[in-house]
Structure 1
Amino acid sequence: MSTATDQSDGSKPPTADSRLYLDYDIRTLEESIVSGGVPKDGIPAIDDPTFADTPPETLDPDDPVFGVVRDGEAKAYPQYILVHHEIVNDTIAGDSVAITYCPLTGTAQGFERGPTEFGVSGRLVNSNLTMYDRGTDSWWPQMLATAIKGPLTGESLQEFRVIWTTWKRWSSAFPETAVLTEDTGFSRRYGVDPYGQYNETRGYYSSTRTLFEPLQSDGRAHPKAVVIGSRTAVGAIAFDKETLLRQRVLTGRIEDTPYVAVADTALETGYVYANPGSVTVEATDGGYVIDGTTHDADSLPLDRSLAFDAMWFAWAGFYPGSAYVD
């Protein structure tokens, strides 16, 4: 197992060509950093993950997992394990990646990590996990994917989609998936979630209460309502997940650009696309029809925008100017 260290070695995670949109200046975000009640690496990232072809006995069919597919390799990361670690430094299809989860904001996101690893700083911004990279010790609020402290301040990470779904749905769609095991190198009470539970949802995950004051409050939805949000270089948009799964197609705008969200009912997730031509997207039993051709939810002939699940209070706190579609 690799050991976290405060000694940076200068190796950098790969960053994006342009910075993602921020609703605040960097200084304001840095001044909003608060202690999460644990020291740096007090929540230990998993650096040497082990996987199996069969799930742990404690993983129930309706339990949440975070799924990733790269170059045909599928992996599932159970929520009940990640709630104790928040970051998995992994390799998928030969690529060095980090799978990250913040229980306080309900966000699971993937990042390219290159030659370095990510750790848990013990700090929060807007209740959100603030990661640090072990190469430069720059600090990255997970949802923003943009450094707000350290040598890489102002740069954004390269991201990829992580699917929040259930073990039953994921394993049905990807029967050859590998699943993260409890053999993490740490002794933890896996199966006991300190915040509540998702199956059935209760505790912190369903209440209106937050443990930390959000950057902004927004009453357009229940604080813990799940949205599927997307942000670009110029703005942000959030689609109510429950409404999207029910109606299957929702539309909105970031600035002057139309966007469309479509539901994947098999995995109970959704995808967001830029739709500058305002083409009509029609839901049918076989998928989504555009100009007479049927497509799967994850492969419309439009420019897909990276999106992820988030609790509304966290999304609205970071992006108070965000469009909200319900």
Structure 2
Amino acid sequence: MSRLSLFVSGIFFLIILEIAKVYFIMPMPGSQQANTIEAAFWIHQHVWFLRVAGWIIILLTAVPVLRRPQRPWHRWLSIALLVAYLVVGYLFNFRLLAEKMFYQPRHKQLTHLDKNKVPMDRLVMGIVRHDEARAYPVQFIGYHHQVRDTVGGEPVMITYCTVCRTGRAFSPLVGTHPDDFRLVGMDHFNAMFEDSRTGSWWQQATGKAIAGPLTGQSLTELPTQHMTLREWAALYPNTLVMQPDADFQESYDKMKPYETGKSKSDLTRRDSLSWHDKSWVVGITQNRASRAYDWNGLLRVRIVNDTVGQVPVVLTVGNDKASLFAWKRQLDDQVLTFLRLPDGSLKDTQTGSVWGKNGVCKDGPLMGRQLQPVQAYQEFWHSWKTFHPSTDQKL
């Protein structure tokens, strides 16, 4: 093989390497449908060794090719290929990497409601730990993808993937030690994080490590609720609310249409029809059984009494057509059936007791009793069926 051929082969090898390093873990044509995570992780682990090998080939052949080319156009071809490699290297290392596109807040601020600047109709992910409530607007965490915080003295990792519409909160403990995570890319269109100690890759929708030394382990998920800030504030008037970081106002502004389903991007748009990939569903898992409820159907009926994994549940939507509430509808040995009242509260048909949106009975024979909350998620149908392949459908 001639020196020119070796030089060209080295350049093409490096170009393909830089593209492949990002292609498999970012939403590029065809990259997210296949099970390529093992190949992506192998490239990630060995990328510097592979780069050095390519650079050695180039260094050994570049001088003779550029100084004494067999034909004049060989020099210009070589220079053009070097420029192409530099452009590709820049794009795929400084522009198209997930961590170079989305950043964590630089000035994180949470305030009480009397100083809150977030409109009350914005969607939030709410979390309560040890009687301390906090709300994280989807408009902000959808851009950041993760926000680290301490709630009730406990470290928490609030995450959101806009392409899947999945909001999850985790304890950031890997083993017994809190760890730092960076957004590294995507797997099956779902955000993926890398821990700082072992370099393992973790799936945002499930909290599972899918590549690296900790493959198969899971982060502990923390319960969250999905509703407007107005509904959250009514339930938790002492809540703290995450405020916008002025450094990212332009990115937040671009996120405004997202939560109401008006995004124009093919990755984050909503399909208003039911059971399409980008249709909204509500997912519930109990005892390893999963069920998806069509959001359009849920808005139509407003309340569903159901049984998932042999657990009686009730699922309802607020009057704002955005807030979501779910509980187990069993007290001791009694299974209750609920009707929805005009103000959004519930009434069970067995005793006639009235229940508030916090799941506490506020009037009737069962006054003071508390329903146990059920974790329910609103997300895109393609996400729920990907990560819950045995799910069934309703409505």
Alignment of 1:127-142 (within 5 A): 127-142=189-204
AA aligned to 1:279 is V
AA aligned to 2:295 is K
1:244 alignment partner in structure 2: 298
Contact kept, 8 Å, 1:41 with 1:119, in 2: the verdict is no
1:170-217 Cα shifts (integer Å, max 9, x gaps): 233333221112348x555243226943357342444449xxxxxxxx
SS at match of 1:179: strand
Distance verdict in 2 for CA 1:116–1:258, change over 3 Å: closer
Residues 1:269 and 2:331 are matched in the alignment: no
More helix by share: 2
SS at match of 2:252: coil
Deviation at 1:86, TM superposition (A): 0.8
Alignment of 1:185-264 (within 5 A): 186-187=247-248, 189-193=250-254, 196-199=257-260, 201-204=262-265, 205-208=268-271, 221-232=275-286, 234-245=288-299, 246-254=301-309, 257-263=310-316
Q: Tell me the distance in 1 between the aligned counterparts of 2:249 and 2:357.
A: 38
Contact kept, 8 Å, 2:180 with 2:196, in 1: the verdict is yes
Deviation at 1:126, TM superposition (A): 1.9
SS at match of 2:219: coil
1:214-236 Cα shifts (integer Å, max 9, x gaps): xxxxx961323322212356332
Count, aligned residues: 286
Contact kept, 8 Å, 1:274 with 1:304, in 2: the verdict is no
Partner of residue 121 from structure 1, selected from 183, 187, 194? 183
Residues 1:279 and 2:279 are matched in the alignment: no
Q: Tell me the distance in 1 between the aligned counterparts of 2:326 and 2:105.
A: 28
1:269-302 Cα shifts (integer Å, max 9, x gaps): 0315487x89342224342427525544654877
Distance verdict in 2 for CA 1:117–1:64, change over 3 Å: farther
Contact kept, 8 Å, 2:290 with 2:391, in 1: the verdict is yes
1:61 alignment partner in structure 2: 120
Deviation at 1:119, TM superposition (A): 2.7
Deviation at 1:139, TM superposition (A): 1.7
- Identity rate, percent: 22
Say which one has the larger Rg: 2
Distance verdict in 2 for CA 1:64–1:220, change over 3 Å: closer
AA aligned to 1:321 is S
SS at match of 2:335: coil
Distance verdict in 2 for CA 1:67–1:137, change over 3 Å: same
Alignment of 1:80-229 (within 5 A): 80-114=139-173, 115-183=177-245, 186-187=247-248, 189-193=250-254, 196-199=257-260, 201-204=262-265, 205-208=268-271, 221-229=275-283
Q: Tell me the distance in 1 between the aligned counterparts of 2:160 and 2:40.
A: 18
AA aligned to 1:323 is D
Q: Tell me the distance in 2 between the aligned counterparts of 1:132 and 1:170.
A: 31
TM-score norm. by structure 2 comes to 0.61
More strand by share: 1
Q: Tell me the distance in 2 between the aligned counterparts of 1:168 and 1:135.
A: 39
Contact kept, 8 Å, 1:236 with 1:323, in 2: the verdict is yes
Unaligned ranges ≥5, structure 2: 1-33, 42-91, 361-369
Distance verdict in 2 for CA 1:101–1:200, change over 3 Å: closer
SS at match of 1:62: coil
SS at match of 1:193: helix
Distance verdict in 2 for CA 1:128–1:195, change over 3 Å: farther
AA aligned to 2:143 is H
My pick for the range that moved more, 123-132 or 220-229, is 220-229
AA aligned to 1:319 is H
Report which structure shows greater RCO (CA 8 Å, sep ≥6).
1
